[in-house]
Amino acid sequence: MGNNYTSEAVEKQARTMGVAAFEIGLFDPRATRATMLTRKWDLDTLLKSVQWLRLKNAEGRHIYIRPAGEHSLSLIDDLNAQVIERLKVERFSPAVVLETSPGNFQTWLNHGHVLSREASTCAARRLAVRFGGDPGSADWRHYGRLAGFTNRKDKYRRPDGTFPYVRLHEANGAVYATAAAFLLEVEAFLQTQSSGSRPERWRTDTLCSSEPKSIEDFRNRTIYAGDQTRVDLAYAIYALSHGVSENEARIAIASRDLGHKGSQKRQQQYVDRTIAKAWRLVRTETACLSSGR
């Protein structure tokens, strides 16, 4: 695919996201210490920079995008085609749908108005739990992929040495039909949190019927930029919310070399802290699900 396809895909996605400015992330997985080069651009500057982004992509960098500042969108990552259809059936139709690798999708949902950082993170977490998305990608300012560039993960390298393009499947920008009701639930939960009360019970609502991902799946995700502490927490949240036992999650986290944490006692304390934080976040996500019901 040529420059025209990339330019058209970038413009369509960016216009549909409907924000004044973007943060563009160029991730280099080949560096000794994985790095993310960032640029803050308005739409015109982004469109003028497509050729430069294509060059950096060809050199091996992954190209990401997110709104700059607070915004009205939520990213749901790591979905299959069946879940995309389910979103529509349940009246959570996405504003943007991207196929980031063959058979793997991410979506942006438009809530209709700008959310606070707290509300945006709560909304993203609730959506990830409800629709089986990646909880490690569920916060108010997470990067998604930018259409028209190639996904440079080694596992997607074709026999001829090329990589698949990130394809823009849908870009209508519409506010999903249940936005008002959904945001009332988010608001009710946040009010409960601020008042100091907690739901008496919580539940894990996993809507992903596939086999649970392993910690290696998370370690291979370029979005974490080589930060293994973020990887450990993202995996722990995912595992505990998808029925993996706490003991299994602990073993997985400890499967990498934690020697830099210090003594065996300090390593165990690190695992304990990670699991404890994950449980707090899982309870937050599931409380979001039950609030207002």
pLDDT tens per residue, range 223-274: 677 788 888 988 888 888 776 778 888 888 988 889 888 888 888 899 999 9
Domain ranges across the chain: 215-290
- What percent of the chain clears pLDDT 70, i.e. is strictly above it? 86
pLDDT cut 90: percent of the chain above it: 52
Least confident of 91-100, 119-128, 131-140, 166-175: 131-140
Give yes or no for a contact between 66 and 141, defined as CB atoms under 8 angstroms apart.
yes
**According to the model, what pLDDT value does residue 208 have?**
27
Question: Who contacts 282 (Cβ-Cβ below 8 Å, separation ≥6)?
Answer: 204, 237, 240, 241
Question: Judging by beta carbons within 10 Å of its beta carbon (0-12, 13-18, 19+), is residue 293 exposed, middle or buried?
Answer: exposed
The pLDDT value given to residue 198: 44
Q: Is the pLDDT of residue 207 over 60?
A: no
Token pair 């400890």 is found at: 254
pLDDT of amino acid 284: 60
Q: Tell me what pLDDT residue 213 has.
A: 76
Residue 154 neighbours by CB under 8 Å, 6+ apart: none
Planar angle of CA 86, 87, 93, nearest 5 degrees: 140
Q: Who has greater pLDDT, 204 or 215?
A: 215
Its pTM surpasses 0.75:
no
What is the model's pLDDT at position 123?
Answer: 93
Amino acid (1-letter code) at residue 155:
K
Mean pLDDT over residues 49-55, rounded? Answer: 97
Question: Which secondary structure element, helix H or strand E, spans residue 222, and what is its range?
Answer: none
* pLDDT reading at 205 higher than 50: no
**Residue in the structure block whose two tokens are 């979905």:** 79
Q: What is the pLDDT of residue 259?
A: 87
56 pLDDT higher than 80 = yes
How confident is the model over 186-210, as a mean pLDDT?
50
Q: Does residue 57 have a pLDDT over 80?
A: yes
The reported pLDDT for the residue numbered 1 is: 60
Q: In the CATH hierarchy, which top-level class contains the domain 215-290?
A: mainly alpha
Indicate whether 157 pLDDT > 80: yes
pLDDT for residue 204 is more than 60? no
Distance separating alpha carbons of residues 131 and 206, to the nearest angstrom: 7
